[in-house]
Structure 1
Amino acid sequence: MNQRKTINLKSIFNLKTVWLFVLFPTFVTIHSFPVPKLERRVMDHAGILSEATVNQLESNLKQFETETSNQIAVYTTPSLHDETIEDVAIQIFDEWKLGQKSKNNGILLIIAPNERKMRIEVGRGLEGALTDIQAKHIIREQLRPSFKSGDMDGGVTAGVNAIMAAIRGEYTPSEDDVDTTNSESDEMVSGLIGGITTFLSLFVPGFGGLVVTIIGILFLYILLAFIFGGTFGLIIAIALFFLVIFLKKFFGLGKGGGGSGGYYDGGWSSGSDSWSSSSSDSWSGGGGDSGGGGSSGDW
């Protein structure tokens, strides 16, 4: 009898152990930082930098990447969401894939002004050029004094300059580097052509109008995929195609001129009104990851 009780207790214990291991990963992943989409080299979500500083840093870091292939990103966050800045830095770094994949030469400078925390996260390929001690020195000598005096622009600029100086001679561009800077001008032109073509297709009857609409939507898809990603861009493009069909039937556009006129279609505006005509750049990581250490600090 006692032996049976012992066996039952062991079974219950083992069952609880199994459930613990099953549920543990769930608890771990619940509290993950909401990593934003990487859009540019300097992302001031906390609003602590002036526009002039953001633009100057963006230009300097772009030129630095062109000359060295090293990728440096600056991110300010309004909240760490109750996580440590070390964990948040690694999550962001690896999600953005900073640095070239073949070199792992990325750097992330993250600043959380509400928690008064900052960290320099280093890719594995740069741990020799920017050691933990050097990163700590940059935080102590360049960032912290300016932050304490309220000069966020000066602190970030000095910190970024010190990081660039430390890693400048470590790598040079090579043939297998990923082109991480993409001009939006081609996508904007494609969207403009697609919007105008789709609009004109409203007045083309029959099968010819269908063909013109398909061509217009295909050009629009290039822009939609660039903005929303391939999957969502495709969904939006398909939705626009059926919207065109509905509107053309509803308003009776494109009828006459023979054929099966009135068959589909109904317009979308020229498509260019909601997009800027300027040729700004988007930026992406090169496939690298973290693991090279770094240093954290406060002020």
Structure 2
Amino acid sequence: MAVVAIVACVLFARQPSQAETRVSPLSATAPGVNIEIPTSTGRVVDQTATLSNDQAEALERKLKDFEKRKGSQVGVLIVPTTLPESIEQYSLRVANQWKLGRKNIDDGVLLTIAMNDRKLRIEVGYGLVAVLDDLSAKRIIDEIIVPQFKLRNFAEGVSEGVDRILETIDAAPVPATNTLHGSELPHK
């Protein structure tokens, strides 16, 4: 996936609640060794239990419905860390491996959040950069996601950020949904 992206350092504190269960975080790797890319099990992959099951399922349904209607594929990945890689490198590797977006249209978007690193990034396929450009992505991060994260409203920040991404894509002409997909994301 060829991409244009925006990255932000998020100023929020992340401390797991006592009721929170951690989902097998990726182990640390030696310097210079890239961490493994998680398998795409759907449109939402949360390795940190930041989202409850209900929140993740609601987001999954929203993204599935959008993809059926509009054709563009949007994914959300929440990981503990991307280190030793930068979030830019890691997000690009994930977007390429997951093959987000339709082949020859490149209309995929990936919202990557590294909770322990306090960083997030929106990767945008070239087919959408005229609509969801760097400035638009920066505004979504700075005006929607980060303010919620600072209040420790992580699920709301993710959901509202995704809503704005979808609204932005929805406002633009994108090829019809009957265009062949580059890959089919697994459906839950």
TM-score range with shorter-chain normalisation?
0.7 to 0.9
Larger helix share, 1 or 2: 1
2:173 match: 170
2:35 match: 33
Contact 2:41–2:185, Cα closer than 8 Å, also in 1: no
1:161 match: 163
Which amino acid in the other structure matches residue 133 of structure 2? T
Contact 1:126–1:170, Cα closer than 8 Å, also in 2: no
Which amino acid in the other structure matches residue 177 of structure 1? L
Higher relative contact order (Cα pairs below 8 Å, separated by 6+ residues): 2
Contact 1:69–1:177, Cα closer than 8 Å, also in 2: no
Deviations 1:90-138 (A, max 9, x none): 0100011100012100000000110100000100100001010000000
Partner of residue 143 from structure 2, selected from 141, 144, 160: 141
Cα distance in 1 for residues equivalent to 2:61 and 2:120: 23
Matches within 5 A, 1:69-148: 69-148=71-150
Note the residue ranges of structure 1 that are not aligned, 5 or more in a row.
1-29, 183-280, 283-299
Equivalent residue of 1:38, what SS?
coil
Which amino acid in the other structure matches residue 95 of structure 1? Q
Contact 2:107–2:128, Cα closer than 8 Å, also in 1: yes
Equivalent residue of 1:58, what SS?
helix
Matches within 5 A, 1:272-287: 281=187
Which amino acid in the other structure matches residue 176 of structure 1? T
**Per-residue deviation, 1:174:** 4.4
Deviations 1:119-159 (A, max 9, x none): 00100100001010000000001100000110001000000
Which amino acid in the other structure matches residue 36 of structure 1? P
Cα distance in 2 for residues equivalent to 1:175 and 1:45: 32
Matched positions, count: 155
2:27 match: none
**Per-residue deviation, 1:37:** 1.2
TM-score by length of 2: 0.78
**Per-residue deviation, 1:50:** 1.4
% identical equivalent positions: 35
Equivalent residue of 1:125, what SS?
helix
**Per-residue deviation, 1:31:** 2.4
TM-score by length of 1: 0.50
Cα distance in 1 for residues equivalent to 2:120 and 2:66: 22
Cα distance in 1 for residues equivalent to 2:114 and 2:80: 6
Cα distance in 1 for residues equivalent to 2:185 and 2:33: 32
Equivalent residue of 1:87, what SS?
helix
Aligned-pair Cα RMSD in Å: 1.5
1:145–1:171 Cα change, 3 Å:
same
**Per-residue deviation, 1:79:** 1.7
Which amino acid in the other structure matches residue 127 of structure 1? V
Note the residue ranges of structure 2 that are not aligned, 5 or more in a row.
1-31
Cα distance in 1 for residues equivalent to 2:130 and 2:48: 31
Q: Which of 1 and 2 has greater Rg?
A: 1
Cα distance in 2 for residues equivalent to 1:176 and 1:48: 34
Deviations 1:22-55 (A, max 9, x none): xxxxxxxx52231111110000111111111101
1:118–1:181 Cα change, 3 Å:
closer
Cα distance in 1 for residues equivalent to 2:179 and 2:87: 32
Which amino acid in the other structure matches residue 75 of structure 2? A
